[in-house]
Chains A and B, each alone.
Chain A
Amino acid sequence: MEMFLTVLGALNVGFVQTLKLFVTTLLGALPLGLVISFGSMSSFKPLRCLTRFFVWVIRGTPLMLQLIVIYYGPGTITGRSPWPAGEAGRFLAAAIMFIINYSCYFSEIYRGGIQSVPVGQQEAGLVLGLTRRQIFFKVTLLQMVKRIVPPMSNEIITLVKDTSLARIISFQEVIWAGQAFMKTSHGYSGLVWPLFFTGIYYLIFSGLMTLLLGALEKKLDYFR
């Protein structure tokens, strides 16, 4: 029992780091994705091409590789790592890479959502004398949000689990904390089950997310 509580305590510490990365990524990627989606829909061709090229590169390479490149790359090239020492630096690097990576995925979902709102909605706004900004925020946005909740739920659930990739740059999230018991951690050695047990954390958390997003979907059910 004492062992169980010790392991649970250690995993909780790791899971707080997992949550930190998850929340930071969402806070950064949700708005940044919208900016990128505007870039990829821009009528200014160079900007549109550049944005789509960037999205292709980010979506076309593994997030794990991106994490390695952003964390070790600059140091390897210049001989001095720009990241702060220790856990703070690993978190910063991971958060930046996760935000960039996820905003690229989000941008495509936003683009699909915006483009699926009938053009008549925009025209109706125009003939009523609304500005482009008013049309986006007062007419298009909520209709887009309604359409993108299901694909967004998918991405968000994936993000819950993808945070474990930060393990590759030794970010001390829950998998790292579980794996530590296989060697030695908190006075115990050679324990395998803590690593298996981390699965429970992901299950519970993604379950909560599913409920939350389901509630949002329901809330937007009042219009079609």
Chain B
Amino acid sequence: MALLEVSHIEKHFGQTKVLSDISFSLDQGQSLAIIGSSGSGKTTLLRCLNFLETPTSGTISVGGAVIFDAAQPAAQREEELRQKRLHFGLVFQSFNLFPQYTALQNVTLALHLRDEKGARREEIDRAGMELLEKMGLADRAAHYPHQLSGGQQQRVAIARALALKPDVLCFDEPTSALDPELTGEVLKVIRALGQQHTTMIIVTHEMAFARDVADQVIFMDGGVIVEQGPAREVIEAPREERTRQFLAHYAET
């Protein structure tokens, strides 16, 4: 059974419909890449999954349990959403690290805040250090974000998201804010996560990366899913004309 089941998600901003009838599912340990031009609704979809936006209609299920149903606003109280959004982790395009905390403190802040009595303090710090090591940043643990390069900051942000052990880790154009020479180190880390069967959804403009790392690819345009299928098929042999146009445009640049 699918770990994540998204069905008939719609999102309106006032009169504008930015997402319509979005349905897909994702198995445990699989990764999904979402591609499409700017304004196609990719980021909004990711924000809906993390409840930074509330879908206008549709349902979201994780592990067979419905965690969001737009038809039941009563179950969308802040406190419940706060618990439910922990099924998802989110890595932002602009990192959004907390500038006043060190790399390690960024990774462990949420866990320390939950550990009210401080009983697990050392354990949490150890786990945080392990995550930073995994990201190749053990020697940067005591650095503040402004002392790190963009690529390093994004890797700290990935460690921060992983620290909460989300069921599904989401990436919102994780390399778009980086200089070309820094994208490699971030993509390498995400690739390694894929090899360890982390369930991931990656919004990206890196087509080769999507093809190599993702199991599934969704191509979105104008707020709808135009095509979805196995990564290689969609990117190398798209069935839809619009997908072909989009990919051809990418090949040119």
| Binary flags per residue of A107-150, CB closer than 8 Å to B gives 1, else 0 | 00000000000101101101111111010001100110010000
Is A222 close to B, CB under 8 A? Answer: yes
Report which of A118, A127, A130, A146 forms a contact with B88, defined as CB distance below 8 A.
Answer: A127
Report which of A121, A123, A130, A146 forms a contact with B110, defined as CB distance below 8 A.
Answer: A130
Report which of A124, A131, A224 forms a contact with B82, defined as CB distance below 8 A.
Answer: A131
- Kindly provide the distance from the CB of A99 to the nearest chain B CB, expressed in whole angstroms: 29
Interface of A is mostly: helix
- Kindly provide the distance from the CB of B169 to the nearest chain A CB, expressed in whole angstroms: 11
Contact yes or no, A222 B96, CB < 8 A: no
Is A223 close to B, CB under 8 A? Answer: yes
- Kindly provide the distance from the CB of B128 to the nearest chain A CB, expressed in whole angstroms: 13
Q: Which residues of B contact A142 (CB under 8 A)?
A: 100
Contact yes or no, B145 A127, CB < 8 A: no
Q: Which residues of A contact B88 (CB under 8 A)?
A: 127
Report which of A120, A130, A134, A223 forms a contact with B92, defined as CB distance below 8 A.
Answer: A120
Is B144 close to A, CB under 8 A? Answer: yes
Q: Which residues of A contact B146 (CB under 8 A)?
A: 223-224
Contact yes or no, A126 B96, CB < 8 A: no
Report which of B90, B100, B109, B144 forms a contact with A127, defined as CB distance below 8 A.
Answer: B90
- Kindly provide the distance from the CB of A117 to the nearest chain B CB, expressed in whole angstroms: 10
Q: How far apart sit A118 and B78, CA to CA, in the bound complex (Å)?
A: 21
Q: How far apart sit A210 and B117, CA to CA, in the bound complex (Å)?
A: 39
Q: Which residues of A contact B178 (CB under 8 A)?
A: none
Q: How far apart sit A142 and B92, CA to CA, in the bound complex (Å)?
A: 22
Q: Which residues of B contact A120 (CB under 8 A)?
A: 92, 94, 96
Report which of A127, A132, A143 forms a contact with B99, defined as CB distance below 8 A.
Answer: A143
Contact yes or no, A223 B52, CB < 8 A: no
Is B152 close to A, CB under 8 A? Answer: no
Report which of A121, A129, A131 forms a contact with B164, defined as CB distance below 8 A.
Answer: A129
Nearest residue, chain B, Cβ from A132: B78
The 7 tightest CB contacts between A and B, nearest first, are A124-B96, A120-B96, A128-B110, A224-B146, A127-B90, A223-B99, A223-B100
- List 6 A-B pairs, Cβ < 8 Å: A120-B92, A126-B50, A126-B51, A222-B144, A223-B100, A224-B146
